[in-house]
Amino acid sequence: MKYYIIFGPPGAGKGTQAAPLAERYNLKHISTGELLRNEIAEGTELGKKAKALIDSGSLVPDDVVEGMIAQAFGKYKDVDGFLLDGFPRTISQAMDLDEMLEARDEEVSGVISLMIPDEVVKERIAHRALLEGRADDARDEVVNNRILTYHRQTEPLIDYYKDRQKYHEVDSLGTIAQVGENIRNLMDSLA
């Protein structure tokens, strides 16, 4: 099994790029945001807790997210691997993922990092809020908190994965097609 992580700040294009990549490489796309939104839509206890945290721009606790990821790894057998989107977001989660994969005699195959500046993050999230009607993306203070949280908690993963020779950057400022082609070239070189 292959285990890829698509990485970058909010609005970098992870979700946009993930679906065609998953289809091309027969990977199961696991978006923690989507898993959580499904829980919220279903009104589960997890969904209610997650909604309060997401509405304030905070992260959902590790054990909740990791439980959902582990469940997905066990559920999908007819794929060549997984494309993780939105996980891991912290060093602690990355270490837990390593342990989870070691227990399966597996490891992270590669981290594909989509890089964009903060100003572009704000523009893209505002645009997404209009297109998708996502109220959590429409408030400046929530967006600013997400960017700050990314820099403080998630950006340290760059060094974590560089140390393991798993980290690969892709410029995410081009068109969707250009960025997709750059990612495919990278993934082909990792295979």
Q: Is the pLDDT of residue 140 over 70?
A: yes
Within a domain: 184: no
Cα separation of 128 and 77, whole Å? 33
Within a domain: 190: no
Task: Output the domain CATH number for residue 25.
Answer: 3.40.50.300
Mean pLDDT, residues 79-106: 94
Q: Is the pLDDT of residue 47 over 70?
A: yes
Within a domain: 59: yes
Q: Is the pLDDT of residue 67 over 90?
A: no
Q: Is the pLDDT of residue 132 over 80?
A: no
Within a domain: 132: yes
Identify which has the larger pLDDT, 92 or 125: 92
Do 150 and 10 contact (CB within 8 A), yes or no? yes
Q: Is the pLDDT of residue 37 over 70?
A: yes
Within a domain: 187: no
Within a domain: 153: yes
For residue 43, which amino acid is it? G
SS3 assignment for the chain: CEEEEEECCCCCCHHHHHHHHHHHHCEEEEEHHHHHHHHHHHCCHHHHHHHHHHHCCCCCCHHHHHHHHHHHHHHCCCCCEEEEECCCCCHHHHHHHHHHHHCCCCCCCEEEEEECCHHHHHHHHHHHHHHHCCHHHCCHHHHHHHHHHHHHHHCCHHHHHHHCCCEEEEECCCCHHHHHHHHHHHHHHHC
pLDDT single digits (tens) 93-113 = 999 999 999 999 999 999 999
Q: What is the mean pLDDT of the chain?
A: 87
For residue 42, what pLDDT is reported?
84
For residue 23, what pLDDT is reported?
96
Q: Is the pLDDT of residue 31 over 80?
A: yes
Cα separation of 141 and 56, whole Å? 9
Within a domain: 188: no
Burial of 101 (0-12, 13-18, 19+ CB in 10 A): middle
Within a domain: 84: yes
Mean pLDDT, residues 177-186: 93
pTM score: 0.82
Domain that holds residue 65: 2-177
Cα separation of 109 and 165, whole Å? 10
Do 51 and 40 contact (CB within 8 A), yes or no? yes
Number of domains in the chain: 1
